[in-house]
Chain A
Amino acid sequence: MSQTGRLLLSILAGLRRLAWLSWAAGLAGGLAAIFGLSAWAARLGWLGQPAWVLGTWALGTALAAGLSGLMWRRLGELSPPWLAGAIGARGFRGGTLRGLLGPAAAGTSLELLAVADLQQAEALARSESELLAPIRAGFHRRALRSGSWLIGAVLLLISARPLGGPPARLWRPGEAWAATVAPVTIRLSATTIDRGGSVEATVTAAGHRHAILWVRGPGEPWRGQGLGLDSLGRATTVLGPLENDLFLRLTSGGRSSDTLQVRVRMPVFLGSLTVTARYPRYLALEDEPLPTDGDTIVVPEGTRLETVGEATTELLDAAWVAGSARIELPVSGGRFHGGLTPAATALWSLALSARSGEVLAGDPVRLPVVLVPDSVPTVEVPVPGSDAIIPLTLRVPLVIDAADDHGLTRVVVESRRISRLGFADPPVQEAVPLPDDSRSRVLLPYDLDLNLRNLLPGDTVRFTVLAADNAPRAHQSRSTEYVLRLPSLAEVRQAARATSAEVGQRLDSITEASRRLERQTEDLSRERVRAGQKPGGPDQSLSFENAKRAESVAEAQAELLRQAEQVRQTLEQLQQSADAAGLHDPAWQQRLQEIQQELARALTPELRQRLQELQQALQELDPERSREALERLAEAQARLREALERSRELFKRAAVEGDLANLTAEARDLAADQKRWLEQLAREDSLRAAAEEAALGERADSLGASLDRLSAELESPPDQRPRKLQQSAERARSAARRMQRASQAARQGKQSEAAREGQQAEEQLEPLGDELKSEREELQQSWRQEVMRGLDQAMGDVSRLAERQLRLAETLRRGDTSPGARSEEGAVEEGVERLLETMKQLAGKHALVSQQTSVALAAARDAMRQAREALATAAPNTREAGKQAGEAIDALNAAAFGLLRSKGAVEGAGSGSGLQEAMEQMAQLAQQQGQLGQQSGGLLPQMGQGGPSQDQLRALGARQRALAEQLERLRAGGQIPGAADMADEAADLARRMEAAQLDRQTVERQERLFRRMLDAGRTLQGQEQDEQQERQSTTAAADSIRLPPVLRARRDAEAGFQLPRWDELQALTPEERRRVLEYFRRLGEGAGERNSAP
């Protein structure tokens, strides 16, 4: 090594130290910076995974390695040649230093070389500081920079507080490594649990803050559940209660745990149980599943409980247990089934034993069974409900109320007659037909017909009703026994009087109701007109309030119709009862029938139709139609009210007449009974005779009271008759007092005194019947006279009004349209209106006062009104006014003749309406017209061939004229509408034929007339038949169907065709009704004939 080389080496040593320091400080600073940055990132939470520790370390290591290598190389470069070169670069010796550092070239003197070397070394040594200063300064600067770098990096690291918190992990790379490579795990507290239990899962995902726990049941998709992990990457969660197995797995940071399973152990229990009640067959009940939740089960006796069940484990045995009773149920595996028929009410428990010996979970199954035995039927007879009087028809209406818990098979009415003397007939059983549908409880109407029992007044009939149920061994029960007594004639009469009073009251009541309702309807219809808008106006809706009010009117009307119908039926009953009471007065019966007819006329289908129209309009909320319907209903109501008023007035008198007839019969009977008592007094037991006489006395007293009441009712007419009635009443009471005395005497054994008193009573009673009869006849005569006087007076008024109208009509015909004429017409019209009122009153006093008069008067009034209206226009129509005024005269004259006929009818000289006669006559005339037409037609072909003789045609004309006259007379009768036209036509035809003018046209006219006459006859016939039907149809009562016995038997046996009821027929027109009934009648006749055929 040369001197220079050594010198350079020594210089280099200093530089090398500086360079090493620089590199070392730089490396340390770099590491500190990396760690410092990581520590800050960890502290700031930017780095969550433990990998950052490893990364930091890896980076640091790489940096250290890299820098160390670089430092090594750079330090290695710091060699003498480098230094020689650097010095040389600064101009030292022109770069000769480098040559001294290597081996000398061949041929070079070593000494020289050494000298040169020395020189060089010395030169270098001398200028060392000068030459090396810049080089050293460079090294020094680098060393300073590295030192600064190091200080900064260390400060960065220190500022991140690397020893605490997350940065602290930096110093535990081993742990970081371990965390990075550690697996994600789940640890379960148990892997098998009971159903409903829970399991604790501890999850570990080291180094992670979050993990997802995935769970699923069998067959279900996975469900994730996020878990927050602690600093150690652990968390614990509780899963459950679990009903089924559960699968779990954990995922975190891309790693996943194994899938674990938690098994749920199923308990041993009863899986299913069905108990089905199979009811006894006779109950005809469907099988029914029963609840097994412990509710009490009520089952009829004989019910079998079918049990089917299954446990979750294999069973050893199964049974129903109730106390000591045990019903085994066959077992198959876990299933069991079997039947149980409880014999008594008990609490049954289901006992199950598992083959495994496990105890079955769950509540024990209990079946509280209440056994209901089949009860005995109950039977009552609410109508009559007590002992009763046998009605006059000897048909006792019964209503049987029979019930059984499961069903009735038979209801029988058992009755027996017990005579007054105590003899009893054997019981008679009559089966009551049961309805097909419901038989658990039935209300059976039944008519106990006692007509064939040979009952005598005073006899009794005892009856009871038996009911049997449908149990295999039928139970039978019996109702209370009732006693029916056949009333005496006296009682019958009393009942008739009571019925009469009731009818009177009901007529009063419904007439008043009808009046109120009519007013209400009118108000409503007018109110709607006033309050309503014009048609087409904006407000067309039917207000709720108005609709409700109209509905209430409709309901009230329907109720009124029902009541009127009831009254009509009661009237019929009254008629029957009077008949049964021996009041066979045809005139009086006729009067009652007239009232019934009046009521029947009042209850027209038209009224029902109007009611239906209203109801329909209300349903459709149509205000216009509702108003119209209300108006029409009000008109129909007015007719109903008038008819009801007339019926009421008629009935007032009829009731008095009936009562008088009734009391007359009673007085006669009483006298006869008293006479009989006197005859038997000597032979009879005195106490019994006293009792009988006391009873007769009571009857006499009652007779007196009834006569007093009747007298009070008749007090209004100022005549003498009530006084006579009072005398009769006093006579009856006096007889009653004597009879009481006679009774007392008989009771005390004073026979002669009893006979004397009885005799005097009998003498007082004897003439009473005749007196009352005479009273009644006088009363009837007086009433008749009153009505006839009224008719005469009305006729006078009609004639005077007709005269006035005639004058007025002539004035009008002359063209007088002055206000005076109008006002006079108004006055006459008002007079007619008053006459109508008078006629209404008269019609209420006698049934035979024809309604035709009122109709004619109403027609006159209408014609007068039209005449007035024709005059009241801006351009008076005198022709129309005159025509109407003339028609009013005709109507007035017709009314007068109607009055004349009515008077005849009231007097007893007429035959009522005469409609029947008119009808027959019209039919005959139609026949004659037909013949005439045929004969004329026969002569027609001869007209062109010499023709028939004048005499022949005249003879035909004479017959035609006679027919015209007959028609004219029919017209005079006023019953045939259109008779006037037909008469005119017939007369015109007669004129043509008398003038030998027979042609086709004439024959055709005859044909047409014939048809018109036929039609007129048919129309009349239809009306008449319809009226008869109305009277006959007592609605729906089975006993109203009069069938021949054979047919009745067949009907009863086969329950085949029956005549349609009134409510079925009422929707039809009269003609349709007639045809339907005719059809059924023929059917019945046909059936009867077939039935009677051998």
Chain B
Amino acid sequence: MKWRLVALLGSLVPGLARAQDPMARAFDLERRGSYLQAAEIYRTVLQDHPAEVAALLGLERALTPVNRNPEMLPAVRAALATPQPGATVYGIAVRVYASANLLDSLGTLAEAWHRAAPGDETPYREWAAAALQHRDRPMARRAYQLGRDRLGKPEALAAEIAQLAVVEEDWSTAVREWARAVRQLPGYRSSAVTTLSAAPERARADMLSALSGMDGIDVARIAVDLRTLWGDPLGGFAALMAVLPSAVPQALDQLQSFLEQVRGGSTPPYLLAQARTLEAVAERWANPAQRGRFRLEAARAFVGAGEPGDARKVLAALAQDTAGNPAVALGATATLIELLAQEGKPDEAARELDRYRATLTVDDYQRLRRLVALRWALSGSGDRAEALIAADSSVDALELKGRIRLYAGDLTGTGEFWKQAGPFAGGRAAATARTAILAAIQPIEADSLPELGAAFRQLDLGDSLAAARGMMRVARTLGADAGRPELLLLAGRLFAAHGARDSAEAVLRAAVEPEAPATAAAALLELGRLLLGSERRPEAIAVLEQMILDYPASALLPEARRVLDQARNAVPRT
């Protein structure tokens, strides 16, 4: 019984103490959402202790949700009147003055703060932040500049000034200040890259030039990252190699970081950049096994990038590293077969594949078999290709079977196989491309169009111009509601991608047919982009406006509006 009593008293004592502590009570009230009551208690505390930081902060917390921060002014003034108020009090004061729209007083306050804490950037940062909150950029700039002058450090507040410059689209200042900031604190690099990457194309060259004239690996990495982001990974790789430290660990660190960045892309330049980076990484590894793995990966990337020569070179170098590493040797074999197939030697590749069948993993074997089949199909031996993968029931095989049928012009068969393969076979890029082809051939009523199949084959062989022409020829034979606009749109895009702007324009204009409104809208959008790329802005604007007016229900309308804004140089900076 006694111990129960003790326990009860023990449980009550903290509660009583808590009930008596006004700060704790105010905090409880605040937590329960009774902000005004909490604020009253904080005010009571501040009457006795004006510089009580916890109470000031509590008062600010309590008044902020109810949007009554200006009511803190008397308390803040009282706190400032105390001797040596402290940085926190100044910080609160700046916020409260800003909320009360007393921007004129912020300078004085910041100066006082600066006197209390000389050498601290915070007063000017807070002042500028308050000014920016009220969209007063000149005041913010003045605050930063004054801060820099008062502190006597040219690199002070560089990141803030750089962000302000980005907002004001003063790209040269932004580059200069970011460089200063990154030199001071390398961690700023990602922020610098993110903000600078928004620069318009016309300013990019100057920015890169400015960056190249600056010292420091971290500054140079900004340039590397920006190049990569702006679609020039090889330029980025070159820039990186130019500034790569000689010390291996640092160099490897930089290379790995760049590799991660370029892995995001799947287009040939990115694959090539990946390959070269992997090669560079491999060269810096002393461990043969590890080096072999990187080289193998580099070789695969070269193959993927369509650079068989480089791939062979890497594979040759790899031969030195494979001793004692069967996995790498196996990978090299598979890559070699892949290379053979890509070089247009499917028969040879098939033989090698057959020879190494027992050693290859099932996954690799099936993948290479499909690759060989694809190459046969591309070379016009569709039957052999089909026979090779006849027993393969995987979705990738189904996808390939559909593609073989496509090359043969069997549109129905293509649709059927691809329907079975589903939307996920072969990765996202392949699936999206497949979807595009399916969308193009669906309206065609004919079951078989060998010429169209040939055009697609040429497209996959890389001859997009011939493919586009083939598609145009086929399109002429089709009706407006039977696939003609879709094939014309596809051809127009191929022409545009190939740089044949006139042909592209003509074909895209021809694709605008009322029987296929969605295709017509897409064609107009492509045309608008094409004209914009040719700096024919008025025409682009007219075309895009036509698209918006004629096809208000199109799914591409938002994109068209965006491009139209670009054409009018009015891209919203959201």
Where the two chains meet, the residues of A that have a C-beta atom closer than 8 Å to any C-beta of B are 534-538, 789, 791-806, 809-810, 812-820, 822-824, 826-828, 830-832, 834-835, 837-838, 876, 882, 886, 889-890, 892-894, 896-897, 900-901, 903-904, 957-958, 961-962, 965-966, 968-969, 971-974, 980, 990-991, 994-995
Find out whether the CB atom of A973 lies under 8 angstroms from the CB atom of B436: no
* B258-266, B301-309, B469-477, B537-545 - interface stretch: B258-266
Query: Can you sample 17 A-B contacts with CB below 8 Å?
Result: A795-B439, A796-B519, A796-B522, A802-B436, A809-B428, A814-B262, A818-B198, A819-B198, A820-B571, A827-B558, A834-B555, A838-B553, A900-B418, A969-B393, A971-B422, A972-B424, A991-B362
- Interface check B333, CB cutoff 8 A: no
Find out whether the CB atom of A893 lies under 8 angstroms from the CB atom of B439: no
Contact of B518 among A797, A886, A972 (CB under 8 A): A797
Q: How far apart sit A800 and B522, CA to CA, in the bound complex (Å)?
A: 8
Q: Known contacts A793-B517, A802-B436, A826-B574; can you find 7 more A-B pairs with CB under 8 A?
A: A803-B432, A818-B198, A826-B558, A892-B435, A965-B395, A971-B424, A974-B422
With A831-B559, A893-B435, A972-B422: A876-B194 Cβ-Cβ less than 8 Å: yes
Find out whether the CB atom of A890 lies under 8 angstroms from the CB atom of B555: no
Find out whether the CB atom of A896 lies under 8 angstroms from the CB atom of B198: no
- Interface check B149, CB cutoff 8 A: no
Q: How far apart sit A866 and B180, CA to CA, in the bound complex (Å)?
A: 34
Q: Which residues of A contact B229 (CB under 8 A)?
A: 814-816
Find out whether the CB atom of B420 lies under 8 angstroms from the CB atom of A896: no
Contact of A828 among B421, B518, B559, B574 (CB under 8 A): B559
Contact of A799 among B197, B425, B435, B517 (CB under 8 A): B435
Q: Which residues of B contact A828 (CB under 8 A)?
A: 558-559
With A814-B228, A823-B572: A799-B423 Cβ-Cβ less than 8 Å: no
Query: Scoring B residues 476 to 514 as 1 if CB is less than 8 Å from chain A, else 0, what string do you get?
Result: 000001000010000000000000000000000000000
With A819-B573, A994-B362: A793-B518 Cβ-Cβ less than 8 Å: yes
Q: How far apart sit A513 and B306, CA to CA, in the bound complex (Å)?
A: 62
Q: Which residues of A contact B415 (CB under 8 A)?
A: 900
Q: How far apart sit A707 and B415, CA to CA, in the bound complex (Å)?
A: 41
Find out whether the CB atom of A810 lies under 8 angstroms from the CB atom of B266: yes
- Interface check B561, CB cutoff 8 A: yes
Find out whether the CB atom of B264 lies under 8 angstroms from the CB atom of A893: no
Find out whether the CB atom of B65 lies under 8 angstroms from the CB atom of A534: yes
Q: How far apart sit A794 and B442, CA to CA, in the bound complex (Å)?
A: 11
Q: Which residues of A contact B267 (CB under 8 A)?
A: 810
Q: Which residues of B contact A892 (CB under 8 A)?
A: 432, 435
Find out whether the CB atom of A901 lies under 8 angstroms from the CB atom of B419: yes
Contact of A972 among B32, B425, B519 (CB under 8 A): B425
Find out whether the CB atom of B33 lies under 8 angstroms from the CB atom of A896: no
Q: How far apart sit A792 and B190, CA to CA, in the bound complex (Å)?
A: 43
Find out whether the CB atom of B557 lies under 8 angstroms from the CB atom of A831: yes
Q: How far apart sit A800 and B547, CA to CA, in the bound complex (Å)?
A: 16
Q: How far apart sit A473 and B423, CA to CA, in the bound complex (Å)?
A: 83
Contact of A804 among B32, B553, B559, B572 (CB under 8 A): B559
Size class of the contact patch on chain B: 35 or more
Q: How far apart sit A889 and B423, CA to CA, in the bound complex (Å)?
A: 10
- Which residues of B (522-574) have their CB < 8 Å from a CB of A? 522, 553-559, 561-562, 571-574
Find out whether the CB atom of B33 lies under 8 angstroms from the CB atom of A534: yes
Q: Which residues of A contact B266 (CB under 8 A)?
A: 810
Find out whether the CB atom of A900 lies under 8 angstroms from the CB atom of B442: yes
Q: Which residues of A contact B436 (CB under 8 A)?
A: 799-800, 802-803
Q: Which residues of B contact A974 (CB under 8 A)?
A: 422-423
With A816-B197, A831-B555, A962-B393: A802-B435 Cβ-Cβ less than 8 Å: yes
Contact of A835 among B423, B424, B555 (CB under 8 A): B555
Q: Which residues of B contact A535 (CB under 8 A)?
A: 33
Find out whether the CB atom of A830 lies under 8 angstroms from the CB atom of B438: no
- Which residues of B (392-427) have their CB < 8 Å from a CB of A? 393-395, 398, 415, 418-425
> Which single residue of chain A is at the shortest CB-CB distance from B394?
A965
With A793-B517, A796-B522, A896-B438: A957-B362 Cβ-Cβ less than 8 Å: yes
> Which single residue of chain B is at the shortest CB-CB distance from A533?
B33
- Interface check B363, CB cutoff 8 A: yes
Q: Which residues of B contact A876 (CB under 8 A)?
A: 194
Dominant secondary structure of chain A at its interface with chain B: helix
- Interface check B431, CB cutoff 8 A: yes
Q: Which residues of A contact B516 (CB under 8 A)?
A: 789, 792-793, 796
> Which single residue of chain A is at the shortest CB-CB distance from B443?
A792
Q: How far apart sit A990 and B429, CA to CA, in the bound complex (Å)?
A: 26
Contact of B562 among A809, A823, A897 (CB under 8 A): A823
- Interface check B133, CB cutoff 8 A: no
Q: How far apart sit A870 and B255, CA to CA, in the bound complex (Å)?
A: 27
> Which single residue of chain A is at the shortest CB-CB distance from B266?
A810
Q: Which residues of A contact B519 (CB under 8 A)?
A: 793, 796
With A537-B33, A896-B435, A897-B419: A789-B395 Cβ-Cβ less than 8 Å: no
> Which single residue of chain B is at the shortest CB-CB distance from A889?
B428
Q: Which residues of B contact A995 (CB under 8 A)?
A: 361
Contact of B395 among A805, A817, A903, A968 (CB under 8 A): A968
Find out whether the CB atom of B264 lies under 8 angstroms from the CB atom of A814: yes
How far apart are B115's CB and chain A's nearest CB, in angstroms?
Answer: 31
How far apart are A986's CB and chain B's nearest CB, in angstroms?
Answer: 12
Find out whether the CB atom of A792 lies under 8 angstroms from the CB atom of B419: no
Q: Which residues of B contact A882 (CB under 8 A)?
A: 264
Q: How far apart sit A826 and B516, CA to CA, in the bound complex (Å)?
A: 25
Contact of B419 among A805, A823, A904, A980 (CB under 8 A): A904
Q: How far apart sit A231 and B488, CA to CA, in the bound complex (Å)?
A: 143
- Which residues of B (303-318) have their CB < 8 Å from a CB of A? none
- Interface check B243, CB cutoff 8 A: no
> Which single residue of chain B is at the shortest CB-CB distance from A535?
B33
- Which residues of B (260-277) have their CB < 8 Å from a CB of A? 261-262, 264-267
Q: Which residues of B contact A824 (CB under 8 A)?
A: 559, 562
Q: How far apart sit A538 and B442, CA to CA, in the bound complex (Å)?
A: 62
How far apart are B10's CB and chain A's nearest CB, in angstroms?
Answer: 31
Contact of A890 among B262, B395, B428, B556 (CB under 8 A): B428
- Interface check B193, CB cutoff 8 A: yes
6 cross-chain pairs, A with B, having the tightest CB-CB distances, nearest first = A972-B422, A536-B33, A813-B264, A793-B518, A893-B423, A830-B558
Q: Which residues of B contact A838 (CB under 8 A)?
A: 553, 555
Q: How far apart sit A203 and B557, CA to CA, in the bound complex (Å)?
A: 121
Find out whether the CB atom of B559 lies under 8 angstroms from the CB atom of A897: no
Find out whether the CB atom of A806 lies under 8 angstroms from the CB atom of B361: no
Q: Which residues of B contact A806 (CB under 8 A)?
A: 428-429, 432
Q: Which residues of B contact A896 (CB under 8 A)?
A: 423, 435, 438-439
Q: Which residues of B contact A799 (CB under 8 A)?
A: 432, 435-436, 438-440
Find out whether the CB atom of B423 lies under 8 angstroms from the CB atom of A897: yes
Query: Scoring B residues 447 to 485 as 1 if CB is less than 8 Å from chain A, else 0, what string do you get?
Result: 000000000000000000000000000000000010000
Q: How far apart sit A797 and B393, CA to CA, in the bound complex (Å)?
A: 30
With A795-B438, A799-B432: A968-B574 Cβ-Cβ less than 8 Å: no
Q: Which residues of A contact B572 (CB under 8 A)?
A: 823
With A794-B518, A893-B423: A818-B555 Cβ-Cβ less than 8 Å: no
Q: Which residues of B contact A536 (CB under 8 A)?
A: 32-34
Find out whether the CB atom of B194 lies under 8 angstroms from the CB atom of A818: yes
How far apart are A477's CB and chain B's nearest CB, in angstroms?
Answer: 68
How far apart are B277's CB and chain A's nearest CB, in angstroms?
Answer: 14
Q: How far apart sit A904 and B194, CA to CA, in the bound complex (Å)?
A: 46
Q: Which residues of A contact B554 (CB under 8 A)?
A: 797, 834
Find out whether the CB atom of B518 lies under 8 angstroms from the CB atom of A796: yes
With A793-B518, A893-B431, A900-B419: A980-B558 Cβ-Cβ less than 8 Å: no
Q: How far apart sit A826 and B562, CA to CA, in the bound complex (Å)?
A: 10
How far apart are B530's CB and chain A's nearest CB, in angstroms?
Answer: 15
> Which single residue of chain A is at the shortest CB-CB distance from B200?
A820
How far apart are B170's CB and chain A's nearest CB, in angstroms?
Answer: 17
Find out whether the CB atom of B265 lies under 8 angstroms from the CB atom of A969: no
How far apart are A908's CB and chain B's nearest CB, in angstroms?
Answer: 14
- Which residues of B (26-55) have their CB < 8 Å from a CB of A? 32-34
> Which single residue of chain B is at the shortest CB-CB distance from A800?
B522
